[in-house]
């Protein structure tokens, strides 16, 4: 089942987010199991919302990429809120 993950990085900046994305070297595509992401500046930091094909796919990528790379650029560990996805639309 698809899952949406809201990741709030308190005190984070869009510059730090961009550094992480550059280090991931994904180009214009999501990794295996990823559906789509979006990111935005909030009053408290940065919010990233990802949709993944499964919680397991996200957990693997988070352990291998998100966790180490966000720590490397000085982002705090995010507060992660998962939601089961009812519906998505794609082109």
Segment (H or E) for 79? strand 79-84
Q: How many domains does the chain divide into?
A: 1
Distance CA 39, CA 12 (A): 12
Supply the DSSP symbol for 13.
-
In a domain, 91, yes or no: no
In a domain, 20, yes or no: yes
Find, among 76, 86, 82, 64, the residue nearest to 5 by Cα. 82
What pTM does this model have?
0.91
Alpha helices by DSSP H, listed for 25-65, are 55-61
Q: Which domain holds residue 40?
A: 3-84
In a domain, 30, yes or no: yes
The CATH number assigned to the domain holding 69 equals 3.30.70.100
In a domain, 9, yes or no: yes
Q: What proportion of the chain, given as a percentage, has pLDDT over 70?
A: 99
pLDDT tens column, 11-50: 999 999 999 999 999 888 889 999 999 999 999 999 999 9
In a domain, 37, yes or no: yes
Count Cβ atoms below 10 Å from residue 1 Cβ, excluding itself: 8
In a domain, 90, yes or no: no
């Amino acid at each position: 089942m698809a899952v949406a993950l809201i990741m709030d990085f308190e005190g984070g900046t869009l510059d730090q987010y961009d550094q992480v994305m550059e280090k991931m070297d994904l180009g214009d595509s999501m990794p295996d199991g990823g559906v789509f992401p979006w990111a935005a500046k909030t009053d408290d930091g940065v919010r990233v919302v990802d949709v993944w094909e499964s919680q397991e796919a996200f957990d693997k990528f988070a352990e291998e990429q998100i966790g180490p790379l966000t720590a490397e650029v000085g982002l705090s560990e995010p507060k992660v809120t998962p939601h089961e996805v009812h519906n998505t639309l794609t082109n």
